[in-house]
Each structure stands twice: as C-alpha cells, then as structure tokens.
C-alpha cells in the first residue's frame, strides 16, 4: 500500500543549524510503501520500503543520494515516523539498488550508520514491482 508519494527537494544549505541532506542541491521522487497487507496475515521483519528516483530538474545539480542516504533516511524517518533500521531504501537509477542502514555507533546526539548497497533481490523486486512500474519505466 502506498502511504506517501511526493517530490523531496533540498537546497544544500543549513537551516537553523540542522545538517542538510548534502551540501549540494537535489531532488528525488519519494514513494513510501507499506509492504505487509492485511490479506496475507504475514508480518514482515522489514515492513516498509522507501523508493527513490532522482528527479532531473535543470535548476538542481542532481546529486546522487547514494553517498548521503544516511542523512536522507534520518530526515524521512523522522518526518514520516519510520524505523530507519526496518525500512528498505531503494534507489531506481539504471539498476535497482537497495541500501540497508545499521546503527554503528552513537556520538553525542548523532547516530552513525554502516551502510551497504546491493542489487535488489528477486523476492524484494516482486514485492515492490506494483509500486515502481510508473516510476521505473521513465528511467532516463
């Protein structure tokens, strides 16, 4: 089930002392999906997916989120009440890549994450396929 579908933009500047997603502007289409359904009666260990696609806009540099996924994931998780550790972070960029973020260590008020990107697995692709058809077919 699609919970949210929107364009998320950032300008690369620090607002009120808060760290930006990256120091360069960017724009992504974001679709937040709940993977489990009432029909199956199954509980998923990772119940949510955040599907990302770079929005090519002439006004932005179109920075890839791949190197800044931890900053992006922290903001989206906070804004949409997601557990960052129980969410698949999926980027549609030529090949479909999945990021898993695991807390590595805590520094004062910031959590550092170990991040691993990998190709999407066949079972994951099957779960999200209905949600990416319109997003993926428009790949540049």
For residue 12, the 8-state DSSP code is S
pLDDT of residue 114: 85
For residue 68, the 8-state DSSP code is G
Q: Is the pLDDT of residue 35 over 50?
A: yes
Query: How far apart are the C-alpha atoms of 45 and 12, rounded to whole Å?
Result: 34
90 in Cβ contact with 100 (< 8 Å): no
Q: Which two tokens stand for residue 102?
A: 């695991």
Query: How far apart are the C-alpha atoms of 12 and 44, rounded to whole Å?
Result: 35
pLDDT of residue 140: 42
Over the chain, what is the mean pLDDT? 84
For residue 75, the 8-state DSSP code is H
55 in Cβ contact with 139 (< 8 Å): no
Q: Is the pLDDT of residue 139 over 60?
A: no
How many structural domains are present in the chain?
1
Stated pTM of the model: 0.85
pLDDT of residue 32: 97
- In this prediction, residue 136 has a pLDDT band, given cuts at 50, 70 and 90, of low
- In this prediction, residue 108 has a pLDDT band, given cuts at 50, 70 and 90, of confident
Note the pLDDT tens digit of each residue in 54-100: 886 655 456 778 888 988 998 999 999 999 989 999 999 888 999 98
pLDDT of residue 113: 83
Q: Domain span at residue 80?
A: 2-136
91 in Cβ contact with 97 (< 8 Å): yes
pLDDT of residue 104: 82
Q: Which two tokens stand for residue 105?
A: 């260590």
Query: How far apart are the C-alpha atoms of 120 and 38, rounded to whole Å?
Result: 24
């Amino acid at each position: 089930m699609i919970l949210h579908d929107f364009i998320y933009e950032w300008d690369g500047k620090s607002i009120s002392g808060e760290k930006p997603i990256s120091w360069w502007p960017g724009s992504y289409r974001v679709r937040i999906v709940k993977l489990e359904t009432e029909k199956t009666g199954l509980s998923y260990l990772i119940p949510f997916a955040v599907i990302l696609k770079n929005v090519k806009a002439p006004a932005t540099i179109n920075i890839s989120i791949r190197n800044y996924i931890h900053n992006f994931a922290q903001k989206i998780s906070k804004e949409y009440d997601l557990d960052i550790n129980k969410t698949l972070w999926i980027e549609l960029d030529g090949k479909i890549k999945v990021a898993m973020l695991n807390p590595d260590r805590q520094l004062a008020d910031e959590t550092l994450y170990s991040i691993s990107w990998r190709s999407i697995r066949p079972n994951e692709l099957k779960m999200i396929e209905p949600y990416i058809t319109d997003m993926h077919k428009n790949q540049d």
